[in-house]
């Protein structure tokens, strides 16, 4: 590269969900500025396994999904969890299952409180949610939905068991919520996914590197960054790549490498907890004790239930019932968001903190503590779990219980001072009684669903893990039996967040405290968990960050 091509006005480190949005919008809002976007992985936006939303598991052997495996988890039988992240232009948006949802207004209120600014509240964030999307339902409320954004969505599929599942949930007392994106997602709401229909029977993944305009951005793929460069006044001057090459930033650097990698890069740059940096002989530039702390993640338990009458084509491949639109997305249509009432959750929280009071964030109205998802195929089934379950066998459905608001907090620390080494990731899953209680309750909700008519007449019980230590679960199973299954088989859904949080590491404009010209915007900025899959919110945060960098707000 020439000296000219090594100098930019703005450098965005990390071409993931938020990073691409930021770089694209800066090139739009500041047309005379020179923008660089650096991505550690390849440009794989047209890889057929990326384009086809159902092929995401094939990306692991291709290296497009990187595994930041966790340390052994004490409360999960000392299992090490895979901890996947996207490593390509588009990042996580290029490898996830494309669920498009928003959290409750209460969750965004809590983020705003922690960040110290109302801009993160739901009422303000709505415009950024809308800016990112082209919503599939043109009849939806324009106050809450966008219709000309880069990310197209699909929805509205109706599967053979739809009314059976809905009636069973409603018999359990759960209301149908026709649009869970308006600030209160509680109840049974319909699935929306960020895929774009390419025909009446097919779709392609909508991911940031594919849908945002990057024609005026200088893109460097396969260009991992080792550290951020600061001068003696702690002004950000640029970045150093793992190759040793240096790029200069005249104005700002924005780091957007995800909750595992972003804190690692900051610490390798001398920004972080002094005790952690000293272990690896890294000179301290900015004392920021919260870098790499506050790690949290969504966890889940997957269960598989056998259909009594698979010949009726009730799940994938829907023999005799296949409709063209089923090819446009994952075969599920509903998810149930549940809020545990304070009268029930308060005493559990008191086990974590005897001084807990009514103001505890988990006790606020409309917070969704867990999510239940019926899926019309045995997603993630493997021979190791049970060789009798085969993906797309037409005989099994998957019922997934997700814990959305963990109390447990973990860490991302350094393995070494070598930027090519993975960081050490310790989420401390289920390290509190509250976390164990919430997922147990979510599993009980799902078990009750399977025993509620009319769905009960369609199912023939759980097909459990092949291990004889794990018998089938029912609604009559003890807490100990459910907890044992969780310890042995619960997993993550790869939503690591919180390690460079607003309010501690960052100010309310995403700026790293103590540095000049350095911001962070990705899933690491969440100060608290949100009760939703985070992709839509991460896009919206990227849109907001671009506004702030460009001086539009």
The domains located in the chain, with CATH, are 1-153+203-295+410-428+496-552 (3.50.50.60), 157-193+298-408+430-489 (3.30.560.10)
Give the tokens for residue 164: 């059976």
d(CA 247, CA 228): 10
What pLDDT, on the 0 to 100 scale, is given for residue 166?
A: 97
Which two structure tokens, joined as six digits, stand for 184? 């209160």
d(CA 387, CA 471): 15
99 assigned binding-site residue: yes
- pLDDT value at residue 192: 94
Q: Give the pLDDT of residue 197.
A: 87
pLDDT tens, residue order, the chain (553 aa):
555 559 999 999 999 999 999 999 999 999 999 999 999 999 999 999 898 877 777 788 888 999 999 999 999 999 999 999 999 999 999 999 899 999 999 999 999 999 999 999 999 999 999 999 999 999 999 999 999 999 999 988 999 999 999 999 999 999 999 999 999 999 999 999 999 988 888 889 999 999 999 999 999 999 999 999 999 999 999 999 999 999 999 999 999 999 999 999 999 999 999 999 999 999 999 999 999 999 999 999 999 999 999 999 999 999 888 898 888 888 999 999 999 999 999 999 998 875 666 679 999 999 999 999 999 999 888 888 888 888 778 999 999 999 999 999 999 999 999 999 999 999 999 999 999 999 999 999 999 999 999 999 999 999 999 999 999 999 999 999 999 999 999 999 999 999 999 999 999 999 999 999 999 999 999 999 999 999 999 999 999 999 999 999 9
Tokens standing for residue 153: 């969505």
What are the DSSP calls for 147-162, one per residue?
Answer: BSSSEE-EE----TTH
Does this model's pTM top 0.85? yes
Q: How far is residue 531's CA from residue 367's CA, in Å, rounded to a whole number?
A: 7
DSSP 370-411: EEEEEESS-TT--TTT-TT--TT-SSEEEEEEEE-S----BE
Q: Is 124 annotated as a binding residue?
A: no
| 239 annotated among ligand-binding-site residues | no
357 is an annotated ligand-binding site residue: no
Instruction: Copy the structure tokens of residue 213.
Output: 């305009």
Instruction: Supply the pLDDT for residue 356.
Output: 67
> CB of 153 within 8 A of CB of 100?
yes
User: Is 97 assigned to a binding site?
Assistant: yes
Whole-angstrom CA distances from 251 to 238, 245, 254, 267 are 9, 19, 10, 21
Distant-in-sequence, close-in-space partners of 279: CB < 8 Å, separation ≥ 6: 414
pLDDT at 4 (0 to 100): 52
């Amino acid at each position: 590269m020439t000296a000219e091509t090594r100098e930019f006005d703005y450098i965005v480190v990390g071409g993931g969900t938020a990073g691409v949005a930021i770089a694209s919008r800066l090139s739009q809002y500041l047309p005379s500025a020179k923008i660089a976007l650096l991505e550690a992985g390849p440009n794989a936006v047209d890889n057929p396994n990326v384009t086809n939303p159902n092929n995401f598991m094939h990306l692991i052997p291709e290296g497009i999904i990187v595994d930041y495996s966790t340390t052994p988890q004490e409360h999960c039988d000392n299992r090490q969890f895979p901890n996947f992240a996207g490593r390509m232009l588009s990042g996580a948006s290029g490898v996830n299952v494309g669920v498009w949802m928003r959290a409750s207004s209460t969750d965004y209120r809590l983020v705003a409180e922690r960040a110290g600014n109302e801009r993160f509240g739901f009422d303000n964030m709505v415009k950024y949610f809308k800016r990112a999307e082209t919503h599939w339902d043109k009849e939806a409320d324009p106050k809450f939905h966008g219709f000309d954004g880069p990310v197209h969505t699909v929805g509205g599929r109706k599967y053979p068991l739809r009314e059976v599942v809905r009636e069973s949930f409603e018999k359990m007392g759960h209301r149908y919520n026709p649009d869970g994106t308006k600030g209160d997602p509680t109840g049974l709401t319909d699935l929306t996914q960020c895929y774009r229909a390419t025909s009446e029977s097919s779709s392609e993944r909508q991911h940031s590197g594919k849908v945002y305009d990057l024609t005026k951005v200088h893109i460097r793929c396969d260009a991992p960054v080792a550290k951020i460069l600061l001068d003696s006044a702690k002004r950000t001057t640029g970045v150093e790549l793992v190759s040793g090459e240096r790029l200069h930033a005249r104005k700002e650097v924005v780091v957007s490498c995800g909750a595992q990698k972003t804190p690692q890069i900051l610490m390798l740059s001398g920004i972080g907890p002094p005790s952690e940096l000293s272990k690896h002989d890294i000179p301290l530039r900015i004392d920021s004790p919260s870098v790499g702390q506050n790690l949290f993640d969504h966890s889940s338990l997957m269960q598989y239930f056998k259909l009594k009458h698979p010949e009726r084509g009730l799940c994938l491949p829907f023999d005799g019932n296949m409709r063209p639109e089923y090819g446009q997305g994952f075969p599920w249509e509903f998810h149930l968001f549940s809020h545990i009432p304070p009268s029930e959750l308060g005493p559990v929280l008191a086990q974590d903190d005897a001084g807990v009071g009514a103001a505890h964030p988990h006790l606020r109205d409309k917070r969704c503590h867990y999510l239940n998802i019926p899926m019309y195929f045995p997603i993630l089934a493997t021979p190791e779990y049970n060789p009798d379950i085969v993906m797309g066998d037409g005989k099994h459905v998957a019922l997934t219980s997700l814990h959305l608001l963990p109390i447990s907090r973990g860490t991302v620390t350094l393995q070494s001072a070598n930027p090519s080494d993975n960081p050490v990731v310790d989420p401390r899953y289920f390290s509190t009684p509250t976390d164990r209680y919430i997922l147990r309750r979510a599993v009980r909700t799902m078990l009750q669903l399977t025993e509620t008519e009319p769905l009960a007449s369609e199912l023939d019980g759980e097909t459990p893990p092949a291990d004889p230590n794990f018998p089938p679960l029912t609604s009559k199973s003890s807490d100990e039996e459910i907890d044992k299954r969780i310890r042995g088989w619960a997993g993550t859904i790869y939503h690591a967040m919180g390690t460079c949080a607003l309010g501690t590491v960052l100010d309310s404009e995403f700026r790293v405290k103590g540095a000049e010209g350095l911001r962070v915007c990705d899933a690491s900025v969440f100060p608290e968990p949100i009760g939703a899959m985070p992709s839509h919110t991460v896009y919206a945060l990227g849109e907001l960050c671009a506004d702030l960098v460009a001086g539009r707000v």
